[in-house]
Homo-oligomer: A and B are copies of this chain.
Amino acid sequence: MRLTISDIAKKTGYAKSTVSAALNNKPGVKPETREEICRIAEEMNYIPNEFARNLSMQTANIIGIIVRDITNPFYAKICRAVENVAARYSYTTLILNTDGIREKELNAIRVMLGQRVSGVIVDISGKDTDLLEELDKFGMPFVVFGTAAGELSVDSVEADDYNGAYQAAEYLYLAGHRKIGFVHGGPESVYSQRRLGGIREALEQRGIRLEEKYIYYKAKTIQEGYLLGKQLAGAQDLPTALIAYNDLTAVGIIRALEESGLHVPEDISIIGFDDIELMTFPLTTVQIPEYEMGENAAALLLERIMGKGSDTRREVLLKTKLVVRKSVKRLL
């Protein structure tokens, strides 16, 4: 059995409560006493039992993060950001992966509830607002990424996809591109919908219509991008520029095209989304501020937890940024 506060009390001759107060820097302890207690506790290698502490205080200094897959650098960045902010307030973070599987999401929520975490940052797939309602039902503070769910008055943090896509399309237009394509992430992808909207809007402003035949369903991964790239390489009618669902897709497409003897940007221009760090290809892309997303989510959540948050629903929309590299050819 590990050392307890009673051992320290016995050793120092003070009462448990005094020891507790001293160790926690509570006021009302004589400096010398505090010093002595801390010294002895240190000497004895005392480490407080967090369970007991949490149980007694009716709360754990833990922030939960529920993400799809920490293996995805996008989420990893978010988690680090949350961790950093949380650490400033002495909160630990508990990360749970769901792979976007409903059952795992539900389980993750139960674990968070069981652990009595102070709050949760959630990246829940699709529109399963009932999972969020579950959190809400238990009065658990939480913040979501992406579109805030339905009726619930929920704090949310998201990147301005619409505007990011708008900028990308406009950039292509200004570079002289008129036949612009879009790689869609699939029907369940809210981001794709919004990005599509942004592109449409940008082009319409310039009197151009985004043609249906240039919208490609669907590719979210390198593999899917690769397959699409192979397809494109053999196609007759290609757009001069492509806005990919994300950098991964772009990578796959580029890889396939290059294999087929088509070059980027000479033969076709491509813009990605995310701005993944590991990219070796100089891809022009719309940067999603993951780190800021994490920071904002953590800040919002902590405010709620500490009760400083107002009752109103807050939505943080973060700016995206077009990072210009060398995957777009100037036609003008």
A45 contacts the other chain (CB 8 A): yes
Partner of A71, one of B52, B69, B73: B73
CB atoms of A280 and B277 under 8 A apart: no
Bound together, the chains give a CA A255 to CA B248 distance in angstroms of: 18
Partner of A113, one of B47, B79, B138: B47
A97 contacts the other chain (CB 8 A): yes
A60 contacts the other chain (CB 8 A): yes
List A13-72 residues whose CB lies under 8 Å from chain B. 45, 47-52, 54-55, 58, 60, 69-71
Instruction: Specify which chain B residues have a CB less than 8 angstroms from the CB of A54 in the assembled complex.
Output: 51
Partner of A279, one of B45, B76, B280: B280
Q: How far is the CB of A134 from chain B (nearest CB, A)?
A: 9
Instruction: Specify which chain B residues have a CB less than 8 angstroms from the CB of A80 in the assembled complex.
Output: 69-71, 97
Number of copies: 2
Instruction: Specify which chain B residues have a CB less than 8 angstroms from the CB of A255 in the assembled complex.
Output: 280
Interface size class of A (residues with CB under 8 A): 35 or more
Q: A70-B70, A76-B70, A92-B94 are in contact. Are A1 and B58 (CB under 8 A)?
A: yes
Partner of A60, one of B51, B97, B116, B247: B51
Instruction: Specify which chain B residues have a CB less than 8 angstroms from the CB of A277 in the assembled complex.
Output: 222
Instruction: Specify which chain B residues have a CB less than 8 angstroms from the CB of A77 in the assembled complex.
Output: 71
A111 contacts the other chain (CB 8 A): yes
CB atoms of A48 and B92 under 8 A apart: no
Q: A70-B80, A73-B71, A137-B45 are in contact. Are A222 and B278 (CB under 8 A)?
A: yes
A2 contacts the other chain (CB 8 A): yes
CB atoms of B73 and A92 under 8 A apart: no
Bound together, the chains give a CA A54 to CA B114 distance in angstroms of: 11
Bound together, the chains give a CA A95 to CA B76 distance in angstroms of: 12
Bound together, the chains give a CA A55 to CA B58 distance in angstroms of: 13
CB atoms of B2 and A47 under 8 A apart: no
A79 to chain B: closest residue by CB? B70
Bound together, the chains give a CA A73 to CA B71 distance in angstroms of: 6
Q: How far is the CB of A267 from chain B (nearest CB, A)?
A: 15
A277 to chain B: closest residue by CB? B222
Instruction: Specify which chain B residues have a CB less than 8 angstroms from the CB of A95 in the assembled complex.
Output: 70, 95
Instruction: Specify which chain B residues have a CB less than 8 angstroms from the CB of A79 in the assembled complex.
Output: 70
Bound together, the chains give a CA A115 to CA B49 distance in angstroms of: 7
Instruction: Specify which chain B residues have a CB less than 8 angstroms from the CB of A113 in the assembled complex.
Output: 47
Instruction: Specify which chain B residues have a CB less than 8 angstroms from the CB of A92 in the assembled complex.
Output: 94, 96, 111, 115
**4 further interface pairs, Cβ-Cβ under 8 Å (given A2-B138, A55-B55, A92-B94):** A50-B114, A51-B54, A70-B76, A251-B280
Supply 19 A–B pairs (Cβ within 8 Å), ascending by A.
A48-B114, A50-B115, A50-B116, A51-B55, A51-B116, A52-B55, A70-B76, A70-B79, A70-B80, A70-B95, A71-B76, A71-B80, A73-B73, A92-B111, A94-B94, A248-B278, A258-B282, A278-B278, A278-B279
